[in-house]
């Protein structure tokens, strides 16, 4: 039985939090958009100043090496927000393919700050900008905001800007705990690639094409053949699912199913403490394991996992077009 997830009213989730586990990769230069377009799963040549893109960076085998929320700060200046523990390796790999492209790839370092915003205080502070659609972007003062997918029916925004301007944002809003933000991220159903999950998934295993992270009409990129084949041939056998346990859950842990207890049926992609107790997690899991039986964390006789509803519909087979 799949239960509905708790609402944001279940916990003290209101205000701003500096996302210390996240960082920014900058691509600047006249070829920045075309270079990223040829490397990532989404369309960057068509990226407007008022838009953001969710995208994955894949290996030649279609396995995700990193994931980004990308947006323009200028026509030739694209910021890519990602988890900090994958940034250095990803930057090194991307630089190998720059060749003659007129693009500079750099780390934002300590000079660029990412802040998560949620709750009524953030909405009031943002004013009209709060009503943007998901994946919209707007300049706000010296920084910018991106509207992220809701988590637990709670609107969320990402603020990005210079370190000197971040203090004003934090001072204007109540402080929010990072663990509460992480829980909202789990509840959104959109798992970023983190150090523990590098090369563990193809984008469809984390439902990326369902939440705007894959464009099947764009040109080639590393792993594109694998990603496209799974989509058009209807060969997706694994998906992301939301689950709860009464014990701590850690990204990278194996998940077992009573229907085939001899081997793992999936892996934890992202986890966070739940405001009312226990832990919630996004799992990458075999679809067969969602049809019945019990799920367990770490081993076949490990702690039980209870499935909960994602905030979007997950089809058993992808669309044919």
DSSP class per residue in 164-209? HHHHHHHHHS-B--HHHHHHHHHHHT-PPP-GGGTTS--GGGGTGG
pLDDT for 315 equals 86
pLDDT for 12 equals 53
**For residue 149, which phi and psi values (nearest 5 degrees)?**
-60, 145
Residues 114 and 143: beta-carbon distance below 8 Å: no
Token couple for 267 = 């892996």
Q: How many CB atoms lie within 10 A of CB 195?
A: 13
Domains 13-188 and 195-308 fall in the same CATH topology: no
Helices then strands, each counted (H, E), the chain = 6, 16
Instruction: Report the DSSP beta bridge partners of residue 52.
Output: 71
pLDDT for 7 equals 52
pLDDT for 277 equals 94
- For the entire predicted model, the pTM comes to 0.93
Longest dimension (CA), the chain: 56
Q: Which residues of the chain have pLDDT under 50?
A: 1, 8-11, 318-321
Each domain of the chain, given as residue ranges in start order, spans 13-188, 195-308
pLDDT for 5 equals 52
- Label residue 192 exposed, middle or buried (CB < 10 Å: 0-12, 13-18, 19+): buried
Residues 244 and 297: beta-carbon distance below 8 Å: no
- CA distances to 77, 79, 97, 217, 259 from 70, rounded to whole Å, are 11, 6, 19, 19, 40
DSSP label of 210: G
pLDDT for 231 equals 74
CATH of 195-308, one of 3.40.1260.10, 2.40.30.160, 1.20.120.1200, 3.40.800.20: 2.40.30.160
296: Cβ–Cβ under 8 A, 6 or more apart, which residues?
A: 255, 256, 257, 258, 302, 303, 304, 305
User: CATH code for 13-188?
Assistant: 3.30.1360.120
């Amino acid at each position: 039985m799949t239960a509905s997830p708790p609402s944001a009213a279940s916990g003290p989730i209101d205000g701003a939090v500096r996302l210390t586990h996240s960082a920014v990769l900058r691509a600047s230069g006249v070829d920045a958009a075309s270079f990223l377009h040829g490397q990532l799963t989404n369309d960057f040549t068509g990226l407007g100043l008022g838009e953001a893109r969710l995208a994955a960076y894949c290996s030649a085998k279609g396995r995700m090496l990193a994931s980004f929320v990308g947006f323009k700060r200028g026509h030739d200046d694209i910021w890519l927000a990602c988890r900090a523990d994958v940034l250095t390796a990803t930057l090194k790999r991307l630089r190998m393919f720059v060749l003659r492209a007129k693009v500079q790839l750099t780390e934002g370092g300590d000079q660029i700050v990412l802040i998560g915003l949620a709750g009524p205080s953030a909405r009031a502070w943002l004013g009209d900008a709060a009503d943007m659609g998901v994946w919209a972007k707007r300049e706000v003062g010296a920084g910018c905001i991106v509207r992220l997918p809701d988590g637990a029916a709670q609107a969320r925004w990402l603020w990005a800007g210079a370190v000197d301007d971040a203090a004003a944002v934090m001072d204007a809003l109540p402080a929010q705990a990072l663990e509460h933000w992480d829980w909202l991220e789990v509840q959104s159903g959109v798992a970023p690639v983190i150090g523990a999950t590098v090369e563990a998934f193809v984008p469809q295993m984390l439902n990326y094409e369902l939440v705007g992270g894959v464009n099947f009409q764009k040109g080639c990129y590393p792993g594109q053949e694998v990603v496209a084949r799974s989509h058009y041939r209807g060969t997706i056998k694994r998906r992301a699912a939301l689950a709860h346990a009464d014990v701590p859950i850690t990204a990278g842990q194996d998940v077992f199913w009573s229907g085939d207890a001899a081997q793992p049926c999936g892996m934890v992609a992202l986890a966070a403490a739940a405001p009312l107790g226990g832990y919630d997690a996004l799992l990458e899991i075999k679809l067969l394991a969602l049809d019945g039986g019990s799920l367990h964390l770490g081993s076949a006789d490990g702690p039980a996992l209870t499935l909960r509803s994602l905030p979007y519909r997950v089809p058993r087979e992808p669309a044919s077009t």
